[in-house]
Amino acid sequence: MPTTDLKQLLFKSIEEISNLYRKKEVSPVEITEATLERLQKLEPKLNAFVTVLAEQALVKAKMAESAFIKGEKVSKLFGIPVSLKDIFMTKGIRTSLGSRILQDFVPDEDAFVYQALQDTGAIIIGKNNMLEFAYGSVHPDYGQCNNPWNVNRTAGGSSTGSGASVSAGIGYASIGTDTGGSIRVPASFCGVVGLKPTYDTVSKQGLFPLSQSLDHIGPLTRTVRDNAIVLEQISSRRFDFESLFSGEIRGVKVGVIRSLTDTITNPEVSRLIVSAIQQLKELGAHLYDVEIPGIESIEGAAMPIVLAEASANHQQWFALMEKDYAPNTYANLREGYKVTAVTYLDALEQKKRFTKAVDEVLKQVDVLICPTVPYPATEKDPSFEDGNIDISQRTIPFNVSGHPALTVSAGNTASENLPIGLQIIGSYYDEGTVYRVADAFQQSKGGYQQPPL
C-alpha cells in the first residue's frame, strides 16, 4: 500500500481500522510498521515517548495478522497500536515516571491497565513522556513534549506524550492519568478527546500515585467513539454503541456553568465556546444556566489534598535525592510536608460537601459544560510553582467531586490555529450520556481535525 495511503489510515478510527483488518484490506503489520515509522519521523520534534517498544510491537502485529487471516473472533482493540503514559508499571520494561530517580527502574509487576490492553490484543508501541511524577513540572533530563499543532508550544501536562502522540497519528489511543486535569489539559491543547471517568472506574493497581484521593485513569483518543471503545476494555463499563452514538441529543438537558464560562478573558476562546454552546442548542439540546456553589474556590481545598498525599508518596526519596528532582517538583513536595493534619482533614470534608453540591445540580440537568482550559497551548508547561494554577481551575473541581469529565475540541483559534477544548461533565457512572453529547457535537463539527505536522 502506498505510503500516503498508510498515513491517512493512521488517522482513521479504531472501528474503521478493525473493519479493514477483518476484510483483509490492510494488515496489523502494515499499520504497526507505519505507526513506528511515523513515530521515528516525528519524535525529534515532539519528544512524546520515553520508551519505544518496536520489537515487541512487531511480534504482536504478526500474531494479530495471523489471527485475522484465520478469521478468529477478537476484540475491537485487537491489532490496534496504542501507547500509555510512563507512570504505569510494566514488568520487565522501564518505568521512569519522567524522573531521574527512576530512570533505570524496571518493575516486576504489570499495572492493571497495561495487562488489560495486552488481554485485548492491542499492540503497545511505547510509553509516553510525562511531567515528572505527574506533578506539574517536566524534568530537564526528559525535556518538554511539544504540540503537533505547533511544535513551539507545549502538548500540556501531565499526560504530555499521550496527548501529542494521539493527535499526531502515532497510535490510535493512549492511557493517561488525571489528578487536576492531566488528561483533559493535553487533550484540549492537542485537539483530541480526553476522558477522566468516574473516580475508581479504572483500577489503579500498578499506578504510581500522585494523590490517591484525586487520581483518575482514562483514555485519550481522536474520536469520542474510540474513547468509549477503549474505556470499555479497561473498565467494567459497557456501552450500547448503536443507541449511544445515534447522533441524536434532542431534549438532552445541558447546564452551562456560567461562573467558569463567562469569565474567559481570551476573546478567541470565548467566541469558540459561545459557538459550541449554540451548536448544542441547534442539535436540539435544552440549555440552562447553572451555578455550583463553591466551584470557584474548590481548588483551594484540592491543593492541600494533592500536596499532602504526594509528599507522603515520596518519603523514601525526598530527604536523600533533592538534586535528582526537577526544582519545581521538589518545591511542591517541600510544601506538602507543611500541610497540617487539620488542614488536610478539613479539605477532605470540603471535598465531600462539594461532591454533594455537584450531585444536586446534576439532578436538574443531564450534563454540565464549560471551557476546559481558558487559553490555547502555551509555549512552556505551566507550573504551580510559577503561579499558573488557572490552567486547572475548570478541570480540578471534577477531580475533587469524582464526576466523569470529557474534553472535545470546540475548534481552533483563528490567529494561531490552536485547538480549544469544550468540557462535558456527567453524573456518577454516566459516561454514556457524556459520550453521547460529545459525539453528536464532534460529528456536527466535522469529526477529528488533523494537525498540519
CA distance 90 to 109: 6
Tell whether 75 is covered by a domain. yes
What is the DSSP code (8-state) at residue 390?
G
**Structural domain total, the chain:** 1
Residue 350: which of 303, 311, 386 has the closest Cα?
A: 303
Q: How far is C-alpha 315 from the chain's CA centre?
A: 28
Q: Name the maximum alpha-carbon separation found in the chain.
A: 64
| 211-266: pLDDT as tens digits | 999 999 999 999 999 999 999 999 999 999 999 999 999 999 999 999 999 999 99
Cell 499558573 found at: 388
The chain-wide mean pLDDT, for the chain, equals: 96
CA distance 190 to 83: 16
Question: Which CATH number belongs to the domain containing residue 237 in this structure?
Answer: 3.90.1300.10
| 270-323: pLDDT as tens digits | 999 999 999 999 999 999 999 999 999 999 999 999 999 999 999 999 999 999
Contact between 1 and 30 under an 8 Å Cβ cutoff? The reply is yes
Main-chain phi, psi angles of 446, to 5 degrees? 95, 10
End-to-end Cα separation, the chain, in angstroms: 21
What range does the domain containing 120 cover?
A: 3-444
Under the banding of pLDDT at 50, 70 and 90, the label for residue 386 is low
Tell whether 258 is covered by a domain. yes
What is the DSSP code (8-state) at residue 376?
S
The better pLDDT of the pair 381, 437 is held by 437
Tell whether 451 is covered by a domain. no
| 85-137: pLDDT as tens digits | 999 999 999 999 999 999 999 999 999 999 999 999 999 999 999 999 999 89
Contact between 147 and 190 under an 8 Å Cβ cutoff? The reply is yes
**Residue 29: half-sphere exposure toward Cβ, Cα within 13 Å:** 10
Helix (H, G, I), strand (E, B) or coil at 448: coil
Q: 259: cis peptide before it, omega within 30°?
A: no
| 11-60: pLDDT as tens digits | 999 999 999 999 999 999 999 999 999 999 999 999 999 999 999 999 99
Strand-pairing partners, residue 52, are 126
For residue 53, give the C-alpha cell: 517498544
Tell whether 357 is covered by a domain. yes
Q: Which helix (H) or strand (E) holds 147?
A: strand 146-147
Contact between 191 and 149 under an 8 Å Cβ cutoff? The reply is yes
Contacts of 185 (CB under 8 A, 6+ apart): 156, 157, 372, 373, 391, 392, 395
Beta strands, E only, 86-191: 123-128, 146-147, 150-154, 173-178
Helix (H, G, I), strand (E, B) or coil at 377: coil
Q: What is the pLDDT of residue 287?
A: 98
Tell whether 440 is covered by a domain. yes
Catalytic residues: 85, 158, 182
Main-chain phi, psi angles of 351, to 5 degrees? -60, -45
Tell whether 72 is covered by a domain. yes
Cell 512524546 found at: 48
Tell whether 46 is covered by a domain. yes
CA distance 303 to 309: 10
| 392-410: pLDDT as tens digits | 999 999 999 999 999 999 9
Tell whether 453 is covered by a domain. no
